[in-house]
């Protein structure tokens, strides 16, 4: 049994599904139900991403799929809001203010990151070293893109290192879907120039 954020649970009760299980616009609760069906049958990360990427793309077509209070930057850093959390996947919103970003880092799970509003610069990396030396890592940048509203970035455990930056003067809102909850999960943050890395964990969400 998964957990909804309080605000989205309230909205789910206020907006009932139409006959056939669909409302006029595809909503977070519709997305979650479809995700449940996929993850109940699939365990392979690549297969999950292949089947769920179109679902996230559909959700991104609805600019009002999350409430306005989940589109605000945090007081000291980017805003992070849990939308739905369960054992096999979780959904959250991240708000990057102007100049906000995160250097090269990994995720330790599969993931889908879709831009709901504005745009976000992304650089993907490939790790070149054999991982035999503790604290050292050699990365090579493989691709740099500007992801705009509707664009989706796919992350697999063997290809999950990237850096992101909001280079605009407006907030960027992303919807993130992961196979594990990143809050408190130990991951790696890389210094590309120094060829080193340190462990880190994302903080708790702003709404729970």
* Domain range summary for the chain, segments of one domain joined by +: 3-200
Please write the tens of the pLDDT for every residue from 159-201: 999 999 999 999 999 999 999 999 999 999 999 999 999 999 9
The region that residue 115 occupies, defined by phi over 0 for left and psi between -120 and 50 for alpha, beta otherwise, is beta
CA distance 157 to 192: 19
**What residue has token string 């989706």?**
152
Which H helix or E strand runs over 48? helix 45-60
Which residue from 200, 207, 208, 2 is spatially nearest to 108, judged by alpha carbons? Answer: 200
Please tell me the predicted confidence (pLDDT) of residue 20.
33
What rounded mean pLDDT belongs to the chain? 91
Examine the pLDDT at 16 and tell me if it is beyond 60: no
Instruction: Decide if pLDDT at 10 tops 50.
Output: no
pLDDT in the model for residue 21: 41
What is the predicted pLDDT for the residue at 6?
56
Q: Is the dihedral of CA 83, 85, 89, 90 positive or negative?
A: positive
**Rounded Cα–Cα distance for residues 134 and 21 (Å):** 51
Quote the distance between the C-alpha of residue 14 and its chain's center: 26
- Residue 24, pLDDT score: 72
3-200: CATH, from 3.40.50.10490, 2.40.30.10, 2.40.110.10, 2.60.120.10: 2.60.120.10
What is the pLDDT, as a whole number, of residue 76? 82
What pLDDT is stored for residue 18 in this prediction? 33
């Amino acid at each position: 049994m998964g957990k909804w954020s309080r605000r989205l649970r309230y909205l789910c009760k206020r907006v009932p599904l139409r006959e056939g299980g669909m409302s006029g616009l595809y909503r977070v609760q519709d997305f979650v139900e479809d995700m449940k069906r996929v993850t109940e049958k699939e365990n392979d990360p690549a297969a999950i991403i292949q089947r769920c990427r179109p679902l996230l793309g559909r959700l991104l077509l609805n600019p009002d799929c999350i409430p306005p209070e989940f589109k605000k930057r945090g007081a000291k850093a980017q805003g992070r809001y849990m939308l739905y959390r369960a054992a096999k996947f979780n959904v959250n919103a991240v708000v990057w203010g102007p100049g906000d970003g995160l250097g090269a880092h990994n995720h330790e799970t599969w993931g889908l990151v879709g831009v709901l509003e504005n745009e976000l610069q992304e650089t993907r990396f490939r790790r070149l070293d054999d991982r035999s030396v503790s604290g050292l890592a050699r990365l090579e940048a493989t691709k740099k893109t500007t992801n705009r509203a509707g664009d989706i970035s796919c992350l697999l455990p063997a290809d999950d290192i990237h850096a992101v930056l909001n280079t605009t003067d407006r907030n960027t809102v992303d919807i993130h879907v992961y196979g594990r909850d990143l809050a408190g999960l130990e991951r790696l943050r890389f210094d590309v120039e120094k060829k080193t890395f340190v462990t880190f964990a994302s903080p708790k969400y702003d709404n729970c």
